Structure 1
Amino acid sequence: MLQPATQFIPCLIYTYREKRGEEMEAEREWGERLRSGDREALGLLMDAYGGEVYRTALLLLRDKHTSEDMAQEVFLTVYRKIGQLSYPYREVVVLHYFHDKSVAEMSDMLGTSEGTIKSRLSRAREHMLLLWKEGEKDDTTG
């Protein structure tokens, strides 16, 4: 039985946060494209980071085919969950987790208070957690 992809999302976030320099520039572009609904950007992300996510899944699951399926499912799950957030929440999630921006940096970039940024991040996390729990429930009942 496949494990829910949501269990592997922290591995994906860690992978993104470790990148710097030119790779971050490419990620910024992909993030912008993802926010505008460009599905090709998801493919670019999978090409860039799929190997790392796959290796993590393989170490945890110890099965090549299951790990390939899980790596693909992780990317699709992240894409769908982020896509379900309203724009202000999606914006801070992408900037914070995929571009490693601090609350202060996002406040400056977006021209809003740090308190508002913290609130949006908190609410986005709560909403994504609810979405993930609903997805896990669907995985076990469906």
Structure 2
Amino acid sequence: MDEERQRIEQLKSGDETALAWLMERYGSDVLRTAALLLKDRYWAEDVSQETFLTAFRKAYQYRGDGTLRGWLLRIAINLCRSKMRLASWRRLFLRESVDVDQGLDGNAAWPDSLEPGSASWMNRMTLREEIGRMPLIYREVIVLYYFHEMSTAEIAAVLEESEGTVKSKLHRARKRLKLQLEEGGWEYESSWGG
């Protein structure tokens, strides 16, 4: 039995050490996803905590037909959707935004470190701002595809949608992002597709 399956069985039996393992292993992914979707530090932290508590309370619902990471991200996304329904867009975006460059362990969440003020740093900030302006349905697929490097099939499982729907949303999201970036005078990189 691999470690993940063993931990799921421990979760199902109410073992809190399995919960701690889950939080340590997937905490950064869950927090980063919530932060990128909600654009609010406190709500992202709240959703992150709620995600793990929900997973702990409802471990019996995990069927094992997808990855554990995907199941947790699905819980987090559903909680983000609930938060979004409760708040107006204006109020949400006026709050302090979270630093998604910083992981839970204090290390950089991005693979490379960029000098603040450099062209690459400015491009990243612009890109993050433009993604934040997109409707939630497009931000979800962009975050999962590009930030978590999930396949369209994995995203479909997380969002509980067909793979065709995910591909369509991803295509529309790329087109919208390209347009937003071009309107802002930014050179659109073809590596993002579209």
Q: Quick one: which of 98, 101, 122 aligns to 1:40? A: 98
TM-score, scaled to structure 1: 0.61
1:108 is displaced (CA, Å) by 1.1
Separation in 2 of the partners of 1:111 and 1:50?
28
Number of aligned positions between the proteins: 104
Q: Do the aligned partners of residues 84 and 127 (structure 1) sit closer, same or farther apart at CA in structure 2, a change above 3 Å counting? A: same
Q: Structure 1 regions of 5+ residues with no counterpart?
A: 1-21, 55-64, 138-142
Q: Do the aligned partners of residues 97 and 51 (structure 1) sit closer, same or farther apart at CA in structure 2, a change above 3 Å counting? A: closer
For the aligned residue pairs, the C-alpha RMSD in angstroms reads 2.6
Aligned to 1:29: 31
- Amino acid paired to 2:125: L
After superposition, what is the alpha-carbon deviation per residue over 1:6-31, rounded to whole angstroms, capped at 9, x for unaligned?
A: xxxxxxxxxxxxxxxx7875244212
Q: Quick one: which of 113, 124, 129 aligns to 2:173? A: 124
Separation in 2 of the partners of 1:79 and 1:135?
13
After superposition, where does 1:81-100 map in structure 2 within 5 Å? 81-100=130-149
1:120 is displaced (CA, Å) by 0.2
TM-score, scaled to structure 2: 0.46
- Amino acid paired to 1:34: L
- Amino acid paired to 1:41: D
Q: Quick one: which of 47, 52, 59 aligns to 2:112? A: 52
Question: What's the secondary structure of 1:82's corresponding residue?
Answer: helix
Structure number with larger C-alpha Rg: 2
Q: Do the aligned partners of residues 44 and 23 (structure 1) sit closer, same or farther apart at CA in structure 2, a change above 3 Å counting? A: farther
Query: Which one scores higher on RCO, CA 8 angstroms, separation ≥ 6?
Result: 1
1:49 is displaced (CA, Å) by 5.3
* Structure with the higher helix share, 1 or 2: 1
Q: Do the aligned partners of residues 130 and 48 (structure 1) sit closer, same or farther apart at CA in structure 2, a change above 3 Å counting? A: same
Q: Structure 2 regions of 5+ residues with no counterpart?
A: 1-23, 41-96, 187-194
- Amino acid paired to 2:32: W
